[in-house]
Amino acid sequence: MDQIVSQFLLKSLHIILDSRIPSLHPNDQRSDRHTSVSRARKNDKWFNLVLGDRPAALENLNFWHRNLMDPMIIDIILVHEGPNSSSVDAYSAIKASVETVIERWVVHYESPRVTPNINDSSLHKKIYKKLIILLRSLYSQMRLLPAYRIFRQLSSSGQTYNLNLIYKVSTFSNPFSRAEEEMMREYVFAPVEASSGRFSVAVSYRKTLSDFNLEAATSMFPRIITDYVGSPATDPLRSFPSFDKGVCATSFPLRGVGSPSSAPFQRPHSWTSGFHRPAPFTQGHSLGGSPPTYCAYGSPSPPTDMCSQRAQSYRSTSQRLNSYEEYQLSPPFSPSPSPSPPTYFSSGSVGRSRGWSETAPMTIPHPTASGNARYLSPNFSDPNRHSLPPLSPRHTRLDPSSQESASGIRSFRKPESLRSGELHSHSVNQKVTKDGRDDSGRFSGLLSSSGSPRIGFSRSSSRLSFPDDLDDGDFSCPFDVDDVDPPLVSDGREGSEFTSTSLPMGAKSQDAAVGILVDMLRRAPPLQQDSSCYSAQSLNTEQDGGVATASGFFMPRKTTDALEELRSYRDMKNLLLSKSGAHVLRKDEA
């Protein structure tokens, strides 16, 4: 009987998430879903309803839903831009993203008292049959409620929208406010009575969703900042506005960037897929790595889908503009597997899965770009950029559309298999960033762990952002941009600020970008493998080989890898210089 209950909960969660969260199953999977019944996995045959791949998040349901008697409350949340969204000014403030609960599902097995399991099989059969019917009607109902329309639109390929759907699962929830309640309508499925309890499913849903305008996000065309000049005059030590949301930290875990633990929050049993204000993430610590649940969107493109949800919230045209601009700074970068945004580019599904968050390899330039754009005032000077490195994935989020247009850095095609790998990498990350170091720490864990199929370059670059100590790397930077002061790493939120490098004034933008990159590389933590980071892995017993291989993969890399990286950087530098040289020539001729 217990098995029936837990499977029922799992199945209903699967049904609900499948038809509400776009990022769980990117488009290309939809067509594959209608394959023959015979290929259904054994686990999927429960209740005679084959649903297809189970999102990895479901695997972890057992962890947090300790007590089967607790209600499982699934909130479907629509993330959209608040009314005080700013103009398309490049330096404008962040657009507030508002989360509205558009549906709340409560699946509950109510058992008034703990009764010994009566193993009456005929009774069980009856209950099972009734549950089958209940789940069928749940499945149909999902498609009749208003939220389904939005889900379909969001799932359609190609477009990115200004809305996003995320979910939150918990065992308790904040009741709705009066105003909200008035907008909701309730539907209760007839409960199925069992001898030891009662299965009930109910939903409160918003009657109308016409308030939310679903608009395709305008694609950001990268603009080249022709007169970019790094200015040392700007305050290099400018610190980020603290993330009052605290969510920042939380968001990381999703992405796998590991921020983790600093995200304290939480409500004991709840986890969410996206950025949810009170950030009710179950911390990895307590669950030994189960948190990955949130990000479990095991979509083929790894990190992108991870916390895609999150990424969405912070989308603002201005930011994107910024980030792209910064990218554009160094066109020559594109071809080379620069550690930056390319990660995004690589995943083909990026555009589709709106929620791509920056992937691990987002490395150096990455932070500069978006991070800065967002939080710093309009100044593209490098010092600031540096300071934003591993920034919250939010910042570094790049609009998929722009990414695709921005560069062809497709170097990091992550194999789909990393689905679970990512999941686990989250947990790894969480461990990694335990020390509360958000910034640099963020990228490290995940990046490294998820990177196995990545190009060596990216891998190494990701490793650069290891959380630990930011002492100068073991390698000497081939680009001797300037003398670099030892990076000042402030604890906690203050973003690890790199001391300003005084870029040569008036340097060509490309050179400046190179310089910045180099500088960051220099300042990045060494490629030491911190064994403690990987200790987390041992916690995740259920992780599949993905993570294990990932972690194992990194262990052996040491100085030799660093040297290789160096060499690649050197090559890159040469390439850039040669290109810029050519560029100069051309300019002169023109």
> By the criterion CB under 8 A, which residues form the site for another protein?
33-37, 40, 45, 48-51, 125-126, 129-130, 132-134, 136-137, 139-141, 143-144, 148-149, 152, 189-190, 192
Query: 193 vs 474, which CB is nearer to another protein?
Result: 193
Q: Which is closer to another protein, CB of 36 or CB of 531?
A: 36
Per the listing, tokens 């639109």 go with 153
Least distance in angstroms from the C-beta of 92 to another protein = 36
User: Please, what sign has the CA dihedral across residues 81, 83, 84, 88?
Assistant: positive
Question: Which residue's CB is nearer to another protein, number 13 or number 512?
Answer: 13
Alpha-carbon distances of 377 from 62, 316, 371, rounded to whole Å? 45, 15, 11
**Least spacing, CB of residue 132 vs another protein, in Å:** 5
Per-residue CA distances from 414 to 405, 422, 542 (Å): 19, 11, 22
Beta-ladder partners of 488? 497
Minimum CB–partner distance for residue 51 and another protein (Å): 8
Residue 45's CB: how many other CB atoms inside 10 A? 12
**Please, what's the b/e burial string for 358-372 (b: 16 or more CB within 10 A of its CB; e: otherwise)?**
bbbbbbbbbbbbbbb
Structure tokens that stand for 465 in this block: 């952002």
CB of 124 to another protein, least distance (A): 12
Report d(CA 196, CA 114) in Å as an integer.
Answer: 8
Give the type of residue at 26: P
**Please, which residues bridge with residue 77 across strands?**
101, 166
Judged by beta carbon, residue 67 or residue 121, the one nearer another protein is 121
C-beta of 135 vs 254, nearer to another protein: 135
DSSP calls for 373-387? HHHS-S---HHHHHH
The gap from C-alpha 59 to its chain's centroid, in whole angstroms, comes to 18
Nearer to another protein, 137 or 195 (CB): 137
If the CB atoms of residues 38 and 226 are measured against another protein, the closer one turns out to be 38
State the nearest-atom distance from the C-beta of 123 to another protein, in Å.
12
- Cβ closest to another protein, residue 155 vs residue 363: 155
Work out how close the CB of 201 gets to another protein at its nearest, in angstroms, rounded to a whole number: 9
Shortest distance, CB of residue 420 to another protein, whole angstroms?
Answer: 24
- Amino acid letter, 342: P
| Nearest to another protein of 66, 143 (CB atom) | 143
DSSP label at residue 268: T
DSSP 476-488: PPS---S--PPPB
CB of 134 to another protein, least distance (A): 7
CB of residue 219 to another protein, shortest distance in Å: 27
DSSP per position, 101-149: EEEEEEEEEE-SS-------HHHHHHHHHHHHHHHHHHHHHHHHSTHHH
The alpha-carbon radius of gyration of the chain (Å, integer) is 24
